[in-house]
Structure 1
Amino acid sequence: MDDKSLKAILFDLDNTLIETSRANGVAIKKTAELLKTTLGLEDSTVNSICDKFKQKLFQESFDPSAGRSIDDVRVGHWEESIRETLGSCSSPSLASQCYYLWKNSRLELLRLSPDVCAMLRQLRGKYKLLLLTNGVAQTQREKVETTGCEEFFDAIVVGGEHAEQKPFLSIFALCFSMLQVEARECVMVGDSLDTDIQGGFNAGVLATVWINGTGGAAADGSVKPDYTIPTVLDLPDILARLH
């Protein structure tokens, strides 16, 4: 394969370039301490509240046209989690305190590591780079801003700003158009088999690279990535094999 065959790399953001899961875990612990101190609860009760919040976050379906911001929705997640566990939410402001402590603590920890920054700078000297992230527009744009991603990419596409997100073909077609490349000239890199790898497969990219940070096996029936690596820092080795 000659060097001109690969022209662009599409990167996922969460748990690919930044450690969102780790940051979320730390933020949850800080919020749990707030709940424990404020309400004098046992650890098991606090954990129940936090588990309910995480479940609501996982099942979240946000409609920006409904008139509520994502901040309002997620304050509501905390309020409902407290009420469902305790039977009431004693302080109207407590849910808001929980949410903004969780949100701000998480954002403070979301950083591109020096090694990831160095890798992206090196790659941008050879390829076009695009950041393609699913999620609510406000939430993902806040992550992009706090991590300073803009300087490393030729374009940034946030799924929540478009009609369809990964793995749908339309958003990949948009990315290819923005970079002025063909699908077969691109590599898709991400941690999700269902969205990143399946989406890249659907779009017909040159190769898909799965970031499997946990080392766990793929679920039966999952799409098979072309390459699997434990960290995005191993990507240059994969690119060398593609040439």
Structure 2
Amino acid sequence: MDGKAVKAILFDLDNTLIETRQAGEVAIQKTSDFLKTTLDIDDDTVRSICGKFKQKLLHEEFDSSSGRSIDEVRVRHWEESITETLGHCPGPSLAAQCYDRWKTSRLEVLSLSPEVRDLLKLLRSSYKLLLLTNGETKTQREKVEAVGCEEFFDAVVVGGEHPEQKPFLSIFTLCFQLLGVAAQDCVMVGDSLDTDILGGVTAGVRATVWINNDGAVLDGPAKPDYSIPTVLDLPHVLAQLQ
């Protein structure tokens, strides 16, 4: 630490500012209820279908050049999950209905809490703020719109809109250029050691702050300068950096 004042903060979105993981579980439960009622199947069968969908989502590799949209890819996840469990997918629209139920429910639950909104308002009075989120363009832009967070940032950068995403240096360099600051002027805040923290360290930011909201063991390719359980504790870190 060289004692230079922080001028800007880069924030991750999912599970840093919004509870995407929690919203996903709510969406899975609502889709489970829909499947159980529609197909008249037992809880174990429903859990199998939804578990397969979550695994496909976790290991998803989306290629925009394939000619398929992210929505089409995820409808296919549901169709495959149902077929792998039941041996067939009843009705051509069932997978699409599951995807629509899951997606709509997740977006409805996602939100910036009043406390996080107040934090961002407070921080923007002293720092430049930028939202840097990995992911497919349409999916991430839908989240940004659903939670109404764009107003709190000087810029929003979605990884899917660029050749490289976090942790690559190129996207961090873009962020510094958009804000008109040097890497050493910035703090990177996020929940992923593999993307947020590693990317911040590689880019040479002033400090990295790991949001460890589930008490995970520090085990990643880069060590954060600070670790806090919630983004609401960020002012305490910033006070130490001034």
Q: Is the TM value for this pair above 0.5? A: yes
2:188 is aligned with 1:225: no
Tell me the residue number matched to 1:24: 24
What percentage of residue pairs aligned between the two structures are identical? 70
Q: Give the CA RMSD over aligned residues.
A: 1.2
CA distance in 2, matches of 1:74, 1:170: 29
Q: TM-score, normalised by structure 1?
A: 0.97
- Map of 1:224-243 to 2, 5 A cutoff? 224-243=223-242
* CA deviations over 1:39-98 (Å, ceiling 9, x no partner): 111111110100100000011111112111111010000000000111100111110010
- Secondary structure at the residue paired with 1:213? coil
CA distance in 2, matches of 1:54, 1:150: 28
The alpha carbon displacement at 1:216 in A equals 1.7
The alpha carbon displacement at 1:17 in A equals 0.2
* CA deviations over 1:161-207 (Å, ceiling 9, x no partner): 00000000000000000001000000000000000000001100000
2:191 is aligned with 1:202: no
Q: Which runs of 5+ in 2 are unaligned?
A: none
* CA deviations over 1:4-32 (Å, ceiling 9, x no partner): 62100000000000000000000000001
2:168 is aligned with 1:168: yes
Tell me the residue number matched to 2:70: 70
Tell me the residue number matched to 2:5: 5
Moved over 3 A (4+): 1-4
- Map of 1:73-92 to 2, 5 A cutoff? 73-92=73-92
CA distance in 2, matches of 1:240, 1:122: 13
Q: Which runs of 5+ in 1 are unaligned?
A: none
One-letter code aligned to 2:240: R
- Secondary structure at the residue paired with 2:140? helix
Tell me the residue number matched to 2:132: 132
**Contact 2:169 2:199 (C-alpha < 8 Å) held by counterparts:** yes
One-letter code aligned to 1:62: F
CA distance in 2, matches of 1:153, 1:215: 28
CA distance in 1, matches of 2:176, 2:70: 29
* CA deviations over 1:110-129 (Å, ceiling 9, x no partner): 10001100000010000000
**Contact 2:79 2:95 (C-alpha < 8 Å) held by counterparts:** yes
- Secondary structure at the residue paired with 1:131? strand
Q: TM-score, normalised by structure 2?
A: 0.98
- Map of 1:50-69 to 2, 5 A cutoff? 50-69=50-69
One-letter code aligned to 1:241: Q
Tell me the residue number matched to 2:150: 150
